[in-house]
Amino acid sequence: MADSSTQSIIIGAAPDRVTAVICDFARYPEWTDAVRRAEVVEEYEDGYASQVHFTIDAGVMADEYVLAYEYAEDVSRIEWHLVAPSKMQKAQRGSYDLVGNPDGSTTVTYTLEVDLSVGMLGMFRRKAEKMIMDTALKQLKRRVEATGAAQ
Distance CA 94, CA 113 (A): 6
Three-state DSSP at 137 gives: helix
Q: pLDDT for 47-81, tens place per residue?
A: 999 999 999 987 777 899 999 999 999 999 999 99
| Residue 75, domain extent | 5-147
Q: pLDDT for 82-99, tens place per residue?
A: 999 999 889 999 999 999
Distance CA 148, CA 121 (A): 40
Q: Which of 104, 115, 55, 110 is nearest to 78 (CA)?
A: 110
pTM of the model as a whole: 0.88
Q: How many domains does the chain have?
A: 1
CATH for 112 = 3.30.530.20
